[in-house]
Amino acid sequence: MRVVMVGTGYVGLVSGVCFADFGHEVICVDKDPKKIETLNQGGIPIYEPGLESLVAKNVRAKRLSFTTNLSEAMKGADAVFIGVGTPSRRGDGHADLTYVYAAAEEIAHNIASGDSEFTVVITKSTVPVGTGDEVEAIIAKHVQPGRYAVASNPEFLREGAAINDFKRPDRVVVGTENERAKSVMRALYRPLFINETPILFTSRRTSELIKYAGNAFLATKITFINEMADLCEAVGANVQEVARGIGLDKRIGPKFLHAGPGYGGSCFPKDTLALTQTASEAGAPVTIVQAVIDANDKRKSNMADKVIKSMGGDVSGKTIAVLGLAFKPNTDDMRDAPSLTIIPKLQNAGATIRAYDPEAMKEANHLLSDVAYTDGPYEAINGADALVIITEWDEFRALNLHRIKTLLKTPIIVDLRNIYRPETMKMQGFTYANIGRPV
Ligand code: UDX
């Protein structure tokens, strides 16, 4: 199959590279010449474990290439994916579809002037219900019916685990009722049939909604366990045991029940917001998702209060060491990271922040002010009045607790990800606060 991927952001790049690794011939297209130049020189514009070597391998095998020239790329293409960004529109929280429609327009012109007999145009970006219809209307203005089909194929990739998620998904969802498009999509995902991955064909609108419903459900699950954690703290119960106790019920399932400082990232905050907008406009408001959004926003701010309380109610003039800034480990992504709410609130209360993150400090530096970044975790901790863990990078789990204790001015640890055991902390003589477990 010949595949074109429009947009080399997170979704576009990972999907393009993985399709190439499936054996297809993939050309990734982006309007940004700098990005294409970086990629052509073997560089990767995003941080994702394993991606760089997978790109190199497929470029070497001549299955993967990068260009700014869409017309060239589209010659003989069987499938053209739209993988451009859909940021939240300022003001109303709707997904901004400017880039999607601009890509559709350009793709339409190229199908019209090209000689491909049949092209499937697929939206891979997360787009609100009905976007596929708009894309189809744009293409129909320029191209004869029968020469194309428009399908939806949402991605369910997690940052930091994206390659594995692409190659070993729980399911593939494809929204199209066009038989020819279905067989193109089946051929594209054929390597997954070996491990019997279900491929679910639905209507285009249903497929578009599945993506939002999935993310909103997961965000709800996290928010639910976060509220249970607060309740556990209030009544003296243990949230990890609650999570295990309910998670063993197959109807609930054990995943996404880790209580923490609130979800962040590029998907959950944006997609939950867009879903509530779509739903209320459609006259079918999803009140539960609105409650999740409100609870999650409030939670991030509550986490700063938790730190202040753990430090005796007053942090003015105090120095706080923060470990972990990214919204989760194995990424440099700072979008909607809890650290972006917690740190400024601590600063407003008079604290000085020293922080370390293995990957996200460069990104954080654009978004936070007056933070001193250090070369390693111990440098951040040295002489601080307390240590706060915001992101659960593996390297923080194995820190030398004895060394931490001697470096801290006062032995206070606030562990917002429950990476340490309360018993160990007590034994080591720390004042230890965590999420929903009795100390
Ligand atoms: C998510 C979805 O998982 C993925 O399917 C979709 O395509 C994009 O959005 P991602 O944002 O990369 O992926 O990260 P994920 O691992 O899902 O975590 C999202 C947020 O939830 C993070 O802030 C994480 O810390 C938080 N989280 C996750 C919890 O607080 N507890 C959990 O149990 C799981």
Instruction: Using the mean position of ligand 1's atoms as its centre, give its distance from the Cα of residue 366 in Å.
Output: 23
Q: What is the pLDDT of residue 354?
A: 98
Ligand 1: does its nearest atom lie under 6 Å from the Cβ of 22? no
Separation of alpha carbons 395 and 358, rounded Å: 9
Ligand 1: does its nearest atom lie under 6 Å from the Cβ of 416? no
What kind of fold does domain 2-202 have according to CATH?
Rossmann fold (3.40.50)
Q: What is the pLDDT of residue 99?
A: 94
Q: What is the pLDDT of residue 194?
A: 86
Please report the atom of ligand 1 found closest to the CA of residue 328: 25
Is there a shared CATH topology between the 2-202 domain and the 296-433 domain?
yes
Q: What is the pLDDT of residue 89?
A: 80
Q: Is domain 296-433 in CATH 3.40.190.150, yes or no?
A: no
Instruction: Using the mean position of ligand 1's atoms as its centre, give its distance from the Cα of residue 137 in Å.
Output: 34
Q: What is the pLDDT of residue 158?
A: 92
Ligand 1: does its nearest atom lie under 6 Å from the Cβ of 155? yes
Residue ranges, the chain, pLDDT below 50: none
**pLDDT tens, 251-278?**
999 999 999 999 999 899 999 999 999 9
Ligand 1: does its nearest atom lie under 6 Å from the Cβ of 222? yes
Instruction: Using the mean position of ligand 1's atoms as its centre, give its distance from the Cα of residue 263 in Å.
Output: 7
What is the architecture, at CATH level 2, of domain 212-293? Answer: Orthogonal Bundle (1.10)
User: Where are the chain's structural domains?
Assistant: 2-202, 212-293, 296-433
Which residue's CA is the nearest one to ligand 1's atom 1? Answer: 158
Q: What is the pLDDT of residue 93?
A: 74
Ligand 1: does its nearest atom lie under 6 Å from the Cβ of 267? yes
Q: Quick check: pTM over 0.90?
A: yes
Q: What is the pLDDT of residue 35?
A: 96
Residues annotated as catalytic are 267
**pLDDT tens, 86-131?**
887 877 778 899 999 999 999 999 999 998 999 999 999 889 999 9
